[in-house]
Amino acid sequence: MYTHNDLDGIGCGIVAKLAFADKVEVRYNSVMGLDHQIERLFEHEKKLEEFHLFITDLSINEENTKRVEQLHKRGGKVNFIDHHKTALHFNEYSWGTVQVEYEDGRLTSATSLLYEHLLENEWIHKTKALDEFVELVRQYDTWEWDQNDNIKAKHLNDLFFMFSLDEFEEKMIERLTSQQDSFNFDDFEQKLLSMEEDKIERYVRRKKRETYQTFINELCAGIVHAESYHSELGNELGKEYPHLDYIAILNVGGKKISFRTIHDDVDVSAVAGQFGGGGHAKASGCSMGKDAFDLYVQEVYPLDPIRQDAFRNRYNLKESPKGTLYDSRQGDKFFVAPMEDGKWSIEVKNGILEESFSQFQEAENHIKRNFGASLSRDDVYVKYLVDFYLKEKK
Ligand SMILES: [Mn+2]
């Protein structure tokens, strides 16, 4: 079995080992590494027809697709199981099973698809603990845990990062073999998880102050440099800065970019696709070539980070019927106030902007995206109102 080296990929390995024990050999691969490994397999392993080849949670290139198709035609057993939209074309082959969502709308994961495949063939023994484990992996991989507030799914992924791949795999197989009624963390793991949570919180708080914004190919990108905690950052920065279309997390040393979005109308697999990468609508990635480096690193370097909103205000509050004030580094002021028709207008130095907004958030997005302004402190707000009323009197 060849599978991905993330939680969903390891989930496949764990489920396969529970089914086939020492009869299965599992190789974990990065997105970039898989094709080379498959190529080597076909070079060195002459009796592939005698094996059953599984490829899960990752895609293979055209040449490897041809190799696999020929193996299948020679009578070899092959299963390609994936849930990425970008892999749907593998359904053209009888050995390809790519399903992005279930009939009820829930998203699939490679682990859940493989588990169901193994159950159908009666190759694996169903237990409550295993059902729960597979579901945690699925919720983590599809980000459904966040909507469902299923912190256990996130904790499973945290643990995966705290242990080595082999240790994690061994621990999980041992647990799922010995405890079949429910899947739980032990006391030591619980302690580790709470320490990890505090650490992530501090890290994310710091990164919020190191986020930059710019327009790239018409979309407003939030840009941050970070080597770890990509999912947490993507999510937290996305919520902190909802005016951004997506968050690009850069790892210059590893020459990689991860893209995350919290918005349903933004597809970051398309953003990654522009630079030769891919993934899901809400989470994707690409390697950082020269083009991407120029756009996301070089051009952004001279900018200042996004200004955070004033956070101890008592008067200058968002959606206030009296109006809400924003100001930019250059000292420009933007006053958002409700109009008689229920829409929101933006007042600037030389009058009112022509455009009005049906939601307050849209008005704020407009100001933040185009002028980089942030919520003013109370003292600036009070002074603005005083000047405004004095002007009215004259
Ligand atoms: Mn996956």
Read off the amino acid at residue 18.
L
pLDDT band at 393 (very low <50, low <70, confident <90, very high): low
Q: In what order do the strands lie in the sheet with 351-352?
A: 351-352, 344-348, 333-338, 324-327, 374-375
More confident residue, 236 or 280: 236
Residue 370 lies in a domain: yes
Residue 255 in this model has a pLDDT that exceeds 90: yes
Q: How far is the CA of 354 from the centre of ligand 1 (A)?
A: 46
Q: Which pLDDT score is estimated for 394?
A: 59
Q: How far is the CA of 149 from the centre of ligand 1 (A)?
A: 20
Query: Are residues 112 and 164 both part of a single domain?
Result: yes
Give me the phi and psi of 333, to 5 degrees please.
Answer: -115, 145
Read off the amino acid at residue 229.
Y
Q: How far is the CA of 56 from the centre of ligand 1 (A)?
A: 8
Query: Are residues 280 and 363 both part of a single domain?
Result: no
Q: How far is the CA of 216 from the centre of ligand 1 (A)?
A: 27
Query: Are residues 332 and 383 both part of a single domain?
Result: yes
Q: How far is the CA of 81 from the centre of ligand 1 (A)?
A: 10
Q: How far is the CA of 341 from the centre of ligand 1 (A)?
A: 47
From residue 362, give the alpha-carbon distance in Å to each of 87, 216, 246, 274, 317: 35, 20, 16, 27, 16
Count: domains in the chain: 3
Q: What percent of the chain has pLDDT over 70?
A: 99
Q: How far is the CA of 57 from the centre of ligand 1 (A)?
A: 5
Q: How far is the CA of 179 from the centre of ligand 1 (A)?
A: 25
Query: Are residues 72 and 109 both part of a single domain?
Result: yes
Q: What six digits make up the tokens of 289?
A: 């070539």
Q: How far is the CA of 84 from the centre of ligand 1 (A)?
A: 7
Over residues 250-273, the mean pLDDT reads: 96
Query: Are residues 232 and 142 both part of a single domain?
Result: no
Q: How far is the CA of 352 from the centre of ligand 1 (A)?
A: 48
Other C-beta atoms closer than 10 Å to the C-beta of 282 total 23
Sequence length of the chain is 394
Residue 272 lies in a domain: yes
pLDDT tens digits, one per residue of 282-330: 989 999 999 999 999 999 999 999 999 999 999 999 999 999 999 999 9
Q: How far is the CA of 192 from the centre of ligand 1 (A)?
A: 25
Q: How far is the CA of 83 from the centre of ligand 1 (A)?
A: 7
- How, if at all, do strands 344-348 and 351-352 pair? antiparallel
Over residues 233-259, the mean pLDDT reads: 96
Q: How far is the CA of 134 from the centre of ligand 1 (A)?
A: 12
Q: What six digits make up the tokens of 24?
A: 């299965």
Residue 204 lies in a domain: no
Q: Which pLDDT score is estimated for 351?
A: 87
Q: How far is the CA of 30 from the centre of ligand 1 (A)?
A: 12
Residue 328 lies in a domain: yes
Query: Are residues 27 and 149 both part of a single domain?
Result: yes
Residue 304 lies in a domain: no
Q: How far is the CA of 183 from the centre of ligand 1 (A)?
A: 21
Q: Which pLDDT score is estimated for 335?
A: 97
Residue 392 in this model has a pLDDT that exceeds 80: no
Residue 147 in this model has a pLDDT that exceeds 90: no
Over residues 252-279, the mean pLDDT reads: 95
Query: Are residues 55 and 89 both part of a single domain?
Result: yes
Mean pLDDT of the chain: 95
Q: How far is the CA of 5 from the centre of ligand 1 (A)?
A: 10
Q: Which pLDDT score is estimated for 206?
A: 97
Q: Residue 139 and residue 368: Cα distance in Å, rounded? A: 32
Query: Are residues 224 and 163 both part of a single domain?
Result: no
Q: What percent of the chain has pLDDT over 90?
A: 90
Q: Which residue has the tokens 């009296």?
A: 322
Q: How far is the CA of 138 from the centre of ligand 1 (A)?
A: 8
- How, if at all, do strands 77-82 and 278-279 pair? unpaired
Q: How far is the CA of 260 from the centre of ligand 1 (A)?
A: 15
Over residues 108-133, the mean pLDDT reads: 98
Over residues 344-359, the mean pLDDT reads: 92
Query: Are residues 34 and 177 both part of a single domain?
Result: yes
Residues spanned by the domain of 128 = 2-185
Q: How far is the CA of 102 from the centre of ligand 1 (A)?
A: 15
Q: How far is the CA of 279 from the centre of ligand 1 (A)?
A: 9
Residue 146 lies in a domain: yes
Query: Are residues 34 and 141 both part of a single domain?
Result: yes
Query: Are residues 16 and 150 both part of a single domain?
Result: yes
Residue 193 lies in a domain: no
Query: Are residues 53 and 103 both part of a single domain?
Result: yes
CATH number at residue 252: 3.10.310.30
Residue 347 lies in a domain: yes
Q: How far is the CA of 82 from the centre of ligand 1 (A)?
A: 7
Q: How far is the CA of 356 from the centre of ligand 1 (A)?
A: 42
Q: Residue 312 and residue 133: Cα distance in Å, rounded? A: 42
pLDDT band at 146 (very low <50, low <70, confident <90, very high): confident
pLDDT tens digits, one per residue of 26-70: 999 998 899 999 999 999 988 999 999 999 999 999 999 999 999
